[in-house]
Amino acid sequence: MENAEQLKEIVRQKYSEIALQDKETNQSSCCGSGCCTTEVTNIMSDDYTELNGYNPDADLGLGCGLPTQFAKIKKGNTVIDLGSGAGNDCFIARAETGEDGKVIGIDFTPAMINKARANAEKLGYYNVEFRQGDIENMPVSSNIADVIVSNCVLNLVPDKDKVFKEIFRVLKPGGHFSISDIVLIGNLPEALRKDAEMYAGCVSGAIQKEAYLQLIKANGFSNITIQKEKPINIPNDILKNYLSEGEIKDFKKGDKGIFSLTVYAEKSKSCCGTECCN
């Protein structure tokens, strides 16, 4: 079993390769890792193309939701995107915050940072900045962000508790986040687990939905709201390699499995630094 640093290095190497692939390749595999099915078309990600600020060069097809659509971004806000990739969510956030706002993308893969910076320069977006760093130890000051967004990234991070502590630290009092991520509900069939981990959006780091929500609550956030939830459907030509017909029907009932969750939460206005002073 790999330790946290080994897992991070695996993710870093894989996403360095993904940065060089096209959107179609990434959408038709598990986070771009190259597994195969004849049924696959856009398994996880939602359609960004109608949102203001969308740029096809920055869309690698790796998301599992539309957090920027739900993030309640206002003109002049400072927005941070965790795991910013090629910059797609940052550019959409910029359309909401305007030229008077600021958007900071954080990613720990140099190839992604380079791609995002090139996209920003090409678009002339000088209030969008990309910083290389680990979201478990963000390269930003405390109490700086009005809004934090993230799209299908925390499931890749070994220490999710540390990330939520960092989110709390960098949000201004009264700030909030909207995060799309992968969670589990119930136990996956043992025969399916390995392939599901590989195939359905790098789910190997995903945790149970209730444990995920409890982490948010335990780190001091309030007004925790599920903004969107949808099942991630694994195609039958994958499932039939591991499950019987009856097991497939049972798995697809929808009461257990792999889900995309978009969740919103706030840092209280009475929270100063890392402590709440009520």
What are the residues whose beta carbons fall under 8 Å from the beta carbon of 83, sequence distance 6 or more?
106, 107, 135, 150, 151, 152, 153, 154, 156
Asked if 71 and 149 touch (Cβ cutoff 8 Å), the reply is yes
Q: What is the pLDDT of residues 134-183, one digit of tens each?
A: 999 999 999 999 999 999 888 888 899 999 999 999 999 999 999 999 89
Query: DSSP letter at 98?
Result: -
**Phi, psi dihedrals of residue 167, rounded to the nearest 5°:** -60, -45
The sheet carrying 145-151 orders its strands as 128-132, 102-107, 78-82, 145-151, 171-185, 257-266, 222-231
Nearest to 123 by CA among 56, 218, 34, 75: 56
Q: Parallel, antiparallel, or unpaired for β 128-132 and 102-107?
A: parallel
Distance of CA 226 to the CA centre of its chain: 15
Position 89 pLDDT exceeds 60: yes
What mean pLDDT, rounded, does the chain reach?
80
Query: DSSP letter at 252?
Result: T
Position 34 pLDDT exceeds 60: no
Mean pLDDT for 196-207 is 61
Task: Identify the weakest region by mean pLDDT among 36-40, 61-65, 78-82, 176-180.
Answer: 36-40
Residue 32: per-residue pLDDT: 41
Mean pLDDT for 78-107 is 95
Q: What is the pLDDT of residues 169-178, one digit of tens each?
A: 999 999 999 9
What are the residues whose beta carbons fall under 8 Å from the beta carbon of 56, sequence distance 6 or more?
23, 49
Task: Report all structural domains of the chain as residue ranges with CATH numbers, in order of start.
Answer: 4-10+49-187+205-232+255-271 (3.40.50.150)
Model confidence band, residue 244 (pLDDT cutoffs 50, 70, 90): confident
Task: Identify the weakest region by mean pLDDT among 88-97, 169-178, 212-221, 264-273.
Answer: 264-273
Q: Which two tokens stand for residue 115?
A: 């791609």
